[in-house]
């Protein structure tokens, strides 16, 4: 298996239960819910995406012909001490179009704990330590369990109650960024106040201006 990666960078996880933790982000190219091209956004299944995941031209990005080459590139981006808890967040685009058992094994061999950010439409291979599922209105969910469920809110056709009984440790509402972020944030706060099993996830990296 070869891998197409948009960018690989070292930063703090900005979202969810592990916000604040140092991590290498490995952003895989491509998604099954949007082409990534602006002209296709109005007809895409997922229309609110905040990310450029097209191509392999970002910092640290490229085409890696083996799992070990991919893991080596992730290791190169790790800027913490080698004795520290190494952590990689596999995201995209949709990482599960490409992340397989071999890639997980190669990352683990280099000492990485592995997290994924996924839209939940593709099965998760074994070897992933932390599963964050972010369901999308109109996209059938196949991943019904994991560590955190992070719902971008509001989504007209997908209410929190429709996913609140799934088998996750943490339930987060993340205000939809874009034109209406302020209203989305107000609504998310109100929902969490009324439904304490849900917690607020802010995109803290955007608030402080880091990647």
Ligand X SMILES: C[S@@+](CC[C@H](N)C(=O)[O-])C[C@H]1O[C@@H](n2cnc3c(N)ncnc32)[C@H](O)[C@@H]1O
Q: Which residues are catalytic?
A: 25, 31, 46, 49-51, 117, 205
Residue 178 binding: pick among ligand SF4, ligand X, ligand 2KA, none (C-beta 5-8 Å cut-off by kind):
ligand X
**Interface characters, 41-80, with ligand SF4 (x: CB under 6 A):** -----x--x-x-x---------------------------
- The answer to whether residues 151 and 160 touch, using CB atoms and an 8 Å cutoff, is yes
- CA-based nearest residue to 136, from 161, 118, 115, 148: 118
Site membership for ligand SF4, residue 122 (CB under 6 A): no
Which one of the spans 6-14, 33-41, 140-148, 156-164 is the region binding ligand 2KA (CB under 6 A)?
6-14
Take residue 26 and report the two structure tokens written for it: 């490995």
The burial of 126, by beta-carbon neighbours within 10 Å (0-12 exposed, 13-18 middle, 19 or more buried), is given as exposed
**Rounded-to-integer distance, Cα 95 and Cα 55, Å:** 14
Tokens 């604040």, residue located: 20
Considering the rule CB under 6 A, would residue 93 count as an interface residue with ligand SF4?
A: yes
Binding residues for [4Fe-4S] cluster: 31, 46, 49
Enumerate binding residues for ligand 2KA (CB under 6 A): 11-15, 25, 51, 91, 117, 205, 211
């Amino acid at each position: 298996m070869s891998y197409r990666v948009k960018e690989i960078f070292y930063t703090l996880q900005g979202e969810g239960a592990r916000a604040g933790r140092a991590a290498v982000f490995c952003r895989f190219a491509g998604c099954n819910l949007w082409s990534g091209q602006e002209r296709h956004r109005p007809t895409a299944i997922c229309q609110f995406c905040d990310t450029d995941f097209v191509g392999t031209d970002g910092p640290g990005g490229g085409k890696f012909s083996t799992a070990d080459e991919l893991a080596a590139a992730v290791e190169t981006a790790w800027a913490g001490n080698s004795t520290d808890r190494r952590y990689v967040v596999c995201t995209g685009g949709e990482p599960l179009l490409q992340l397989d058992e071999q890639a997980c094994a190669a990352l683990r061999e280099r000492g990485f704990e592995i997290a994924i950010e996924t839209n939940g439409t593709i099965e998760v291979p074994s070897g992933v330590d932390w599963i964050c599922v972010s369901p999308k209105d109109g996209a059938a969910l196949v991943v019904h369990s994991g560590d955190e469920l992070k719902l971008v809110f509001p989504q007209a056709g997908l209410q929190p109650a429709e996913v609140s009984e799934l088998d996750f440790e943490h339930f987060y509402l993340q205000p939809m960024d874009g034109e209406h972020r302020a209203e989305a944030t107000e609504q998310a706060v109100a929902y969490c106040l009324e439904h304490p099993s849900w917690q607020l996830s802010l995109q803290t990296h955007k608030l402080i201006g880091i990647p």
